[in-house]
Amino acid sequence: MSIVTIGTAVVRPDAPYVLQGDGKTYRLDRSAFEAALRAAEAASDNQSLITTGEAAEILQMSARTVARILDAGRLPFFRNGQSGRRMVACEDVLAYRDAQMHRKAHLQAARDLADNLGLYDIDPASLPLKTR
């Protein structure tokens, strides 16, 4: 297996190569190419990766809010190469969205129950004062 840096040289169409994000090109022999392909397939695990902006569109919130969710550890992510862009598995974003929708539905059900029981009609002044 051999990997050769070829910089800005022209790569033949019939020769396998890898192009790195910073523009470096590496020519691979067949076995190195197949190993790289297997590694890429294993790493992707058939997951579609999206940016925080794309996640924000799915979640219907700002990219900054998505970044805060990622920083808080509520959604797994990784930084992409030298650019450092955060990438998120689309599957994780969809699961997060579904969990949020489920949470909101339960919260609304609790509000409806409190309303039906008349808990919103109680005068706060009639409640006992909180003491230690």
Please write the tens of the pLDDT for every residue from 1-39: 545 545 555 666 677 777 777 777 777 887 877 777 776
How far, rounded to the nearest angstrom, does the alpha carbon of residue 130 sit from its chain's CA centroid?
A: 43
| Residue count of the chain | 132
Q: Model confidence at 95, in pLDDT bands (50, 70, 90)?
A: very high
The closest alpha carbon to 84, from 51, 36, 35, belongs to 51
Distances in Å between the Cα of 13 and the Cα atoms of 5, 16, 17, 27, 38 are 16, 8, 9, 11, 21
Give the pLDDT confidence score for residue 3 in this predicted structure. 53
Q: Which residue in this structure is represented by tokens 């695990």?
A: 45
Helix (H) or strand (E) holding 4: strand 3-5
Q: Model confidence at 89, in pLDDT bands (50, 70, 90)?
A: very high
Give the pLDDT confidence score for residue 127 in this predicted structure. 81
**Structural domains in the chain, sorted by start:** 1-45 (no CATH), 47-120 (1.10.1660.10)
Please say whether the beta carbons of 93 and 69 come within 8 A: no
Supply the DSSP symbol for 6.
-
Among 48-52, 72-76, 123-127, the least confident range: 123-127
Give the pLDDT confidence score for residue 19 in this predicted structure. 74
